[in-house]
């Protein structure tokens, strides 16, 4: 059979594009830098969105929706914010056949427009905290687009909150970071992220603190999977978000923002995929078990048995796909199932069924096991749980083996050619960071020696993670 995908070891970026195309996840849009997310890709995003949405609501936030168009003057009210986003802005200057009196920005993020409405909605300490989230699209004009990773328009959730104290805002931003994002990425995406603090050079425009979750991809590069920001009182002062305290004083609120996007889907592909295509973590997979009829028999026993097995799996709470396209060669359908990364497929054919068996094929370890029909549901259930953990363990082992402990910036730059470097932040500093940046290497995050997230980059004995990144 002809090679379906470019091997990862031969050309990882080409392999990534091949997987997206062959697994029918997405396509390039008609405008450069945009993407069309196909049903197979969108089904994975919907699973991500659903689970993440539940977690965000459990953290107390409520969903809302804010406009796509933002008056340009809103962005200009927070100087650092507009400076940080200016190169990426898409600006509308004409509408209805006429030049607009004021240009309109297509939202790159919504701190400014939400800040405007927070100022309207907040008057008293009783209105705080105000915890908002929206699922939306944003536009950041991308010069070097890559599907899911960097596109001019992408989908995401963005949370925005206002609090009565800095301590409360800090606690909430960190709660989102760990209890929502980190737990989701480890438990659902099976990606062992490193969680840390961004340096001043790398933090979000207008933030006082930015926290990040960094995943190692299959080519050892880093991918920023999500961020949570403390905005201090910067936006509250720019938009006059004030409240009357319990003592009757007028105080500026403390705000946060935080977000994850369809970039997570790119991370899932690159972290877990292999030379045969996708490997989707079972807990996030839209189809966990794919029942496939190998070949029908004249009596219809195979079709009947496959349908009964499909129903039994559904009754057990497993998300099931069903393939009875016997007019298409089975080999082609099996390759397609591998490409799309279904965690388990169950092959039902006359020969095995005559012996009372079906064949359980596990995508992650690549095993094929004849299994009694009566035991198929329990075998699939056990396989899904085991293979979720196996993906995480494999990704963690890769990151550990490809992370080098070094003592200087020069050594870190060298180590970043094949993996990540872990180096004392005191040995890097702002000068060393600039030197690394000139070589295409960035400080992905800072952590304490025990792996916990520091409150400030000025804490002693911090550790810096350096890598090449997407």
Task: Please tell me the distance from the alpha carbon of residue 45 to that of residue 268, in angstroms, as a whole number.
Answer: 11
Is 224 within 8 Å of 469 (Cβ atoms)?
A: yes
Q: Is position 169 within any domain?
A: yes
Q: Is position 201 within any domain?
A: yes
Q: Interior CA angle at 208 toward 152 and 267, to 5°?
A: 40
Q: Do 419 and 388 share a domain, yes or no?
A: no
Q: Is position 375 within any domain?
A: yes
What does DSSP say about strands 194-197 and 209-216: parallel, antiparallel, or unpaired?
antiparallel
Res 224: pLDDT: 98
Distance from CA of residue 85 to its chain's centroid? 21
Res 80: pLDDT: 82
Q: Do 176 and 32 share a domain, yes or no?
A: yes
Any bridge partners for residue 251, and if so which? Answer: 243
Q: Is position 5 within any domain?
A: no
Q: Do 72 and 126 share a domain, yes or no?
A: yes
Burial class for 411, CB neighbours closer than 10 Å (0-12, 13-18, 19+)? middle
Q: Taking the CB of residue 451, how many other CB atoms lie within 10 A of it?
A: 10
Q: Do 395 and 414 share a domain, yes or no?
A: no
Q: Which of 399, 428, 443 is where one domain is finished? A: 399
Q: Do 23 and 100 share a domain, yes or no?
A: yes
Q: HSE-up of 361 (CA within 13 Å, CB side)?
A: 16
Q: Is position 119 within any domain?
A: yes
Res 213: pLDDT: 98
Task: Please tell me the distance from the alpha carbon of residue 12 to that of residue 56, in angstroms, as a whole number.
Answer: 34
Res 2: pLDDT: 54
Q: Is position 6 within any domain?
A: no
Task: List the one residue out of 443, 437, 398 whose CA is nearest residue 422.
Answer: 443
Q: Is position 76 within any domain?
A: yes
Q: In which domain, by residue range, is 427 found?
A: 403-467
Total count of domains within the chain: 3
CATH code for the domain in which residue 429 is found: 3.30.110
Q: Do 342 and 367 share a domain, yes or no?
A: yes
* Main-chain phi, psi angles of 256, to 5 degrees: -135, 160
Q: Is position 356 within any domain?
A: yes
Q: Do 64 and 193 share a domain, yes or no?
A: yes
Q: Do 210 and 308 share a domain, yes or no?
A: no
Q: Do 341 and 423 share a domain, yes or no?
A: no
CATH code for the domain in which residue 305 is found: 3.40.50.800
Q: Do 146 and 22 share a domain, yes or no?
A: yes
Q: Do 61 and 18 share a domain, yes or no?
A: yes
Res 82: pLDDT: 78
Res 84: pLDDT: 81
Is 204 within 8 Å of 88 (Cβ atoms)?
A: no
Q: Which of 206, 241, 272 is where one domain is finished? A: 272
Q: Report residues of the chain scoring pLDDT below 70.
A: 1-2
Q: Do 177 and 255 share a domain, yes or no?
A: yes
């Amino acid at each position: 059979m002809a090679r379906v995908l470019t091997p990862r070891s031969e050309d990882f970026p080409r392999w990534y594009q091949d997987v997206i195309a062959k697994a029918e996840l997405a396509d390039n849009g008609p405008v450069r830098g945009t993407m069309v997310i196909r049903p197979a890709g969108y089904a994975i995003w919907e699973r991500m969105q659903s689970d993440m949405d539940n977690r965000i609501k459990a953290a107390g936030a409520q969903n809302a929706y804010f406009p796509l168009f933002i008056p340009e003057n809103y962005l200009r009210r927070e100087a650092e914010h507009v400076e940080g986003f200016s190169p990426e802005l898409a600006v509308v200057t004409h509408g209805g056949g006429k030049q607009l009196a004021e240009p309109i920005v297509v939202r790159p993020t919504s701190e400014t427009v939400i800040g405007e409405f927070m100022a309207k909605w907040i008057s008293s300490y009783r209105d705080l905290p105000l915890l908002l989230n929206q699922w939306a699209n944003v536009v950041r004009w991308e010069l070097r687009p890559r599907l899911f990773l960097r596109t001019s328009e992408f989908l995401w959730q963005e949370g925005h909150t206002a609090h009565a104290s800095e301590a409360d805002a800090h606690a909430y931003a960190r709660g989102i970071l760990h209890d929502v994002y980190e737990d989701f990425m480890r438990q659902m995406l099976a990606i062992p992220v490193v969680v840390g603090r961004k340096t001043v050079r790398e933090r979000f425009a207008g933030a006082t603190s930015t926290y990040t979750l960094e995943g190692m991809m299959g080519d050892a590069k880093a991918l920023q999977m999500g961020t949570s920001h403390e905005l201090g009182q910067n936006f509250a002062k720019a938009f006059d978000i004030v409240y009357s305290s319990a003592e009757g004083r007028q105080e500026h609120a403390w705000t946060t923002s935080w977000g994850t996007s369809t970039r997570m889907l790119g991370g899932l592909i690159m972290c877990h995929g292999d030379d045969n295509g996708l490997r989707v973590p079972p807990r996030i997979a839209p189809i966990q078990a794919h029942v496939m009829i190998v070949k029908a028999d004249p009596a219809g026993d195979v079709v009947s048995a496959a349908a009964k097995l499909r129903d039994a799996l559904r009754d057990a709470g497993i998300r099931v796909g069903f393939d009875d396209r016997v007019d298409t060669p089975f080999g082609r359908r099996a390759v397609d199932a591998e490409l799309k990364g279904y965690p388990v497929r169950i092959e039902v054919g006359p020969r095995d069924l005559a012996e009372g068996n079906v064949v359980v094929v596990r995508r992650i370890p690549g095993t094929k096991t004849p299994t009694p029909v009566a035991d198929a549901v329990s075998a699939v259930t056990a396989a899904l749980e085991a293979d979720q953990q196996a993906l995480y363990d494999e990704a963690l082992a890769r990151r550990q083996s490809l992370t080098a402990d070094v003592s200087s910036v020069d050594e870190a730059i060298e180590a970043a050619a094949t993996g990540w470097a872990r180096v004392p932040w005191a040995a890097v500093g702002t000068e060393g960071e600039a030197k690394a940046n000139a070589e295409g290497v960035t400080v992905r995050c800072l952590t304490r020696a025990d792996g916990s997230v520091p409150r400030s980059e000025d804490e002693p004995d911090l550790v810096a993670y350096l890598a090449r990144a997407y």
